[in-house]
Amino acid sequence: MADCLFCKIISGEIPSKKLYEDDKILAFYDISPIAPVHFLVIPKEHIQSVDAIDEKNSEIVAYIFQKIGQLAKEAGIENGYRVISNCGADAGQSVLHLHFHVIGGKELSWQA
Ligand code: 5GP
Ligand code: ZN
């Protein structure tokens, strides 16, 4: 997707601090962290949001979750973490490319 910020991060057009990359996914640190550790995991395939996950593209979601535990360890998270995917306007989704926030490194509060 030509106009997508995260597609540009995947292509390298916009630089990022990478944590992990393979042929299917990219994990990189959030530019405005909300916790001591805050990284994003995204599929390389452009999927707009959780709302756009269907029977044809859902395999990548399982793949991402299969990787998250190891990535959290590699990022230095030792005592638990939270995985968040903001979907749509009310959730404040600001980048319309499916992404999973992984946050940790402190005791997290819970408030919606
Ligand atoms: P959303 O608000 O859509 O759930 O999450 C988008 C996230 O992308 C935000 O936490 C924001 O800080 C992060 N972000 C926006 N632009 C960039 C960027 O250019 N580089 C990186 N590494 N993160 C970004
Ligand atoms: Zn994209």
Global confidence as pTM:
0.98
* Three-point CA angle 42, 83, 27, nearest 5°: 30
Confidence (pLDDT) at 102 = 98
Going by pLDDT thresholds of 50, 70 and 90, the confidence category of residue 111 is confident
For residue 112, pLDDT over 80 is answered with no
For residue 43, pLDDT over 90 is answered with yes
Residue nearest to atom 24 of ligand 1 (CA): 31
DSSP state of 23: S
Confidence (pLDDT) at 1 = 79
Question: What are the pocket residues of ligand 1 if the criterion is a CB atom closer than 6 Å to any ligand atom?
Answer: 5, 14, 16, 28-32, 86, 92-95
Residue nearest to atom 16 of ligand 1 (CA): 31
How much is the mean pLDDT over the chain?
Answer: 97
Tens digit of each residue's pLDDT (9 = 90 or more) over 48-93: 999 999 999 999 999 999 999 999 999 999 999 999 999 999 999 9
CA distance linking residue 6 with residue 86, whole number of Å: 15
